[in-house]
Amino acid sequence: MSRVTAAEQRARGFGESSSGVWCADAGPAMVARLARLGFDWLCLDTQHGVYSRTEIINVARSFPSGSAQLVVRVPSCDFVAIGAALDAGARAVIVPQIESAADAQRAVAASFYPPVGGRSWGQLGGIWGGATLTAEAANGSITCAVMIESANALLRAEEIAAVDGVDQLFIGPYDLSLSLGTTVQALLDDDSESSALGRIVQVASAYGRTVGGFTGTPELADRFRERGITCLAVATDLWVTSEGARAALRLGTGAG
Ligand code: 3PY
Ligand code: MG
């Protein structure tokens, strides 16, 4: 079973029935605005997004308290990168390309202080007047989500989900469909017993983990929700700005 219940994860903002915005390019001021708009969580994508460690810190420094939960998708299953994101103040990490129980164990070891893992002490929040959590409070409040996004990960979903400390299986539909030789639409359309998405949801539930995923648009998010996946990145920073501009032009030119 999970260290934390689904209800506890939900209460933190990044859990079942939550809507996040995924940022790949927005700078600190735009991130702060997005964080106040009502999303449950905001994820900085440091795998495919533009952010260096300094930029993660700059975002975290001006991240508004009492707003969305700050989540970081780290670049890889790397001890230093996971620790750096959490030290900056992320309350959850999404760790990409998890292929095995050994990978998941590495993600957990980097995410939690002893005795759960081997995270190194050095939170930065105190520098800018933010929170410094005790090791116990950090271990009790950080969410470690591991990404299932390959045929291998799908095959080994049980052993990955069984790792103590894994809180959530997070689906990367684009890499997963590439790895399976299919498309995101076809992944969503397959509602057979043996479907990839069905298998992930079923394994997560069997091991008491929540399940989340990247979608990037509200329309795609609806399709994931229909499949029982409800911790979703429902928009990106790019989607918010381009759709906002489209709406303004439509309405502002009297065409709306
Ligand atoms: C994927 O769909 O593979 C992702 O990692 C989303 O960013
Ligand atoms: Mg991916």
**112 is in which domain, residue-wise?**
9-253
* Per-residue model confidence (pLDDT) at position 1: 46
Structure-token match 């933010």, residue found: 130
Residue 1 lies in a domain: no
**28-55, pLDDT tens digit by residue?**
999 999 999 999 999 999 999 999 999 9
Instruction: Return the bridge partners of 95, or none.
Output: 146
User: Would you state the structure tokens that stand for residue 100, as one six-digit string?
Assistant: 């095995």
Residue 198 lies in a domain: yes
Would you give the distance in Å from CA 43 to the centre of its chain?
A: 6
Listed residues: CB within 5 A of ion ligand 2: 149, 172, 175
Is residue 159 within 6 Å of ligand 1 at its C-beta? no
Residue 3 lies in a domain: no
CATH number at residue 123: 3.20.20.60
**50-104, pLDDT tens digit by residue?**
999 999 999 999 999 999 999 999 999 999 999 999 999 999 999 999 999 999 9
How many residues belong to the chain?
A: 256
Residue 4 lies in a domain: no
| Cα–Cα distance for residue pair 255/250, rounded to 1 Å | 5
Burial (CB < 10 A; 0-12, 13-18, 19+), residue 207, is middle
pTM of the prediction?
0.96
Number of structural domains found in the chain: 1
**Cα(172) to centroid of ligand 2, in Å?**
5
Clarify whether 48 is annotated catalytic. yes
Residue 25 lies in a domain: yes
Residue 81 lies in a domain: yes
Sign of the torsion formed by the C-alpha atoms of 19, 57, 103 and 45: positive
